[in-house]
Amino acid sequence: MLLWAMHFRWSRLQRSSIPWMEVIATTMIISESKPLEEVLEMLAGYDSVFVVGCGECATECQTGGEYEVNEIGKMLTEAGKTVTGSLVPDVTCQVLDTGRLLRKSKEAVSRADVILVIACGGGAQAVAASVDKPVVSGVDTLFLGDTVRHGQFYEWCSACGSCVLHEYGGICPVTRCPKGQVHGPCGGTTDEGKCEVNSENDCVWVLIWERLDEIGANKDAVASAAHEPRDYSVHQRPASRIFEPRRTK
């Protein structure tokens, strides 16, 4: 998985209560389950449902793994719905694999009035691209998250398409500052080095300064740097990247 996901401040980690061996080097698409009432409202008018989860990110987030697929199936049955079947692809946003698995379950899928997907928005759209049925998403996709350990996810990257990590010791102020400050801290940083927007968070500029000390970087260069306005055209939506792979694995 992405190596930059481990740009965690190791000195702080070692001082914390987190055992370092429990740190997981992975990046996830973080999701949150919608309330059952909202799901049932979206399913109003449909009698039969086929449920699709995800064996990767939604499983780690406990929003769409095997357990959650079984639980939502029970809840839908109690609410008077007929669950025709379910499926948990290894990675639901892999469009061709998900389509193949849905075709293998075509009888159960054909009996359903609607497909309920409890995976990220990418996974839900992969399902929609593979079936001629209405698709409903049972989760909200929140952010691209670095995983410190199970159940602890933090937004460290916005996938902005114009990475500046090398200028800040491997810590992103664009994402980790609520104001996206790239020229230094705002005037609201507390005496304890906390963020004025969320007092539970360290000011990212305190983290950057400490990180630059740790790696022996030139802090004066960072403090005096003047950045050009960000080129938002590099991250137009919808984005794509298409290339000829050198290898399959």
Q: How far apart are CA 131 and CA 154, in angstroms?
A: 33
pLDDT, tens digit, for every residue of 218-249? 888 887 877 777 777 777 778 777 778 886 65
**The pLDDT of residue 211:** 94
Q: Which residues contact 115 (CB under 8 A, 6 or more apart)?
A: 49, 50, 51, 52, 109, 127, 128, 131, 133, 134, 135, 136
**The pLDDT of residue 176:** 95
**The pLDDT of residue 248:** 63
Both tokens of 204, joined, read 């990212």
* Among 88, 140, 203, CA closest to 211: 203
pLDDT, tens digit, for every residue of 39-51? 999 999 999 999 9
**The pLDDT of residue 140:** 96
| pTM exceeds 0.75 for this model | yes
Both tokens of 140, joined, read 């909200």
Q: Which residues in the chain land under pLDDT 50?
A: 1-25
Cis amide prior to 238 (ω within 30 degrees): yes
Both tokens of 142, joined, read 């929140």
Domains in the chain and their CATH numbers? 28-142 (3.40.50.2300), 162-227 (no CATH)
Q: Which residues contact 85 (CB under 8 A, 6 or more apart)?
A: 50, 51, 105, 108, 109, 111, 112
Under DSSP, the state recorded for 5 is: G
**The pLDDT of residue 118:** 98
